[in-house]
Copies of this chain bind each other. A is one copy, B any other.
C-alpha cells in the first residue's frame, strides 16, 4: 500500500469530511441513555434539528442509514398495495422505488433521463387524471446524489395543489439538507427523509424523518407492518428527551456539535457557501471543456457536480489515477452512469482552499489519465471564488 502524506481529500458526495469538532464530540464516553444527562442531550438535538429542516413539527431520529429513513417514511404512512408516484431522476430514485416495491407498494415511476429533475407539469397531469385518488403518495428526491440535479420541490407542491390531489408528499433530502435551501413546513412536505453524513457533517449512522401533521394522521391508518421505524413509539419518549430503544448516543453527541456549527455559521450563509462552491466547480468543468451532467442550469446541484466523460473515456480509470496519485476520493458513476461520469462532492464542512485543492486534483488527474481537456479549470474557479469572496 502506498503511503500518503497529508490529509485525504474525501470529495465524494457524502460521507463528507467530518470536522474535528464533531469527531471529538463523538469520542466522549457513552452515557446512560435513561439518565438525566441524556435527557438534556436528546431534548437539545430533537429541538435543534427543527430549524435545519424548516419545521416546527417533530423530527424522528433513527440509529440507521438514510436507507432506513426511506423505509420509515413509507411504512409509517402507507398500506400494502398502495400506489405511489415516483420520478426516475437517477440511481437513488430508482433504489427508493425498488425499496418501495419490496415493501409491497405499487410504484408508478415517471421515466427520466438521469440528467433532469422532476417534471412538474407531468406530475400535475398525472395527478389530475387520478380522480379517485389511487395515488397515496408522491415521492421525490430533492437532490439526486447520482446526477447532481436538484428538483423543484416548491414547484412540485404547487403542482399537487393545482391538481387538488390529496397524496402525501415524501421528499428525500439526503444530499441537500444543510447544504441547499429546504423548508419542510413552507413547502408543504409531509415526510422529509435525511441522513447524517452529508450536509450535517456527521459520520453515517443516523437518519431522520421530519413529519407533518397530515403524515402523522396517515400513520394512524397505515397498514404496513412496522416496529423499529414506528413514529408513535418514538414521539412519546422523545417528548422527554428519550428514545424507545438504545439510541446511537455517540453520534448524537456529534449531532449536537454539528447543529451548533450550522447555527454559528448561519443557515443562509451555509447555503450561500454551497452555491459559490457549486458555481466555481461548474466554471472549472466548463473551462476544461467537459460537460456537467445536469442539463438545466436552474437544476444545478450546489452540493455535488457530476461530470460527463468524453466519449470513450473511463471515469473509473480517471478516479483511480486521482486516488493513487493525489489521495483524493471522487464519486463513481452509479447504475446506468457507471464509468460514464465522476462526481465531485463540494458539500459539508468545506472551504475555498479545499475546493481549490480538489479541482487541482481533478485537473492534474485529467492530464495524467490522458483525458482530452483544456487546462484552466482551476484558474476559472479561482476567478469566481476571488470575485465573490467575502460576499
Contact = CB atoms under 8 A, between A and B. Distances in A.
Contact of A246 (B15, B33, B265, B382): B15
A8 B29 contact: yes
For this chain, the copies found in one complex come to: 4
A18 B29 contact: yes
A278 interface: no
Interface string A361-391: 1011001100000011011001001100110
A332 interface: yes
Interface stretch (A97-105, A160-168, A208-216): A97-105
Nearest to A197: B246
Contact of A204 (B16, B34, B197, B249): B249
Given A104-B225, A205-B248, A5 B353 contact: no
A204 B390 contact: no
A301 interface: no
Interface string A216-229: 00000000111110
Given A248-B205, A379-B375, A351 B5 contact: yes
Interface stretch (A66-74, A117-125, A134-142): A66-74
A378 B353 contact: no
Q: Name the interface size band of chain A.
A: 35 or more
A205 B31 CA distance: 14
Interface stretch (A288-296, A305-313, A321-329): A321-329
A32 interface: yes
A226 B102 contact: yes
A26 B35 CA distance: 23
A325 B389 contact: yes
A267 to B, nearest CB: 12
B18 A225 contact: no
Nearest to A323: B35
A350 B203 CA distance: 24
A8 B364 CA distance: 24
Contacts of A6: 17, 19, 349-351, 353-354
17 contacts: A5-B349, A17-B29, A30-B204, A31-B329, A36-B323, A63-B64, A63-B68, A64-B64, A64-B228, A65-B246, A66-B246, A67-B244, A195-B246, A204-B246, A328-B353, A353-B360, A378-B382
Given A63-B65, A67-B228, A355-B357, 11 more contacts: A5-B270, A7-B7, A15-B31, A15-B32, A99-B228, A103-B226, A197-B246, A325-B352, A354-B357, A364-B389, A375-B379
Give 6 nearest A-B pairs by CB, closest first.
A6-B351, A356-B360, A205-B248, A357-B357, A353-B357, A27-B27
Interface of A: 3-10, 12, 14-20, 23-24, 26-36, 62-68, 71, 80, 98-99, 102-104, 195, 197, 203-205, 224-228, 230, 244-251, 264-266, 269-270, 273, 323-329, 332, 349-358, 360-361, 363-364, 367-368, 375-376, 378-379, 382, 385-386, 389-390
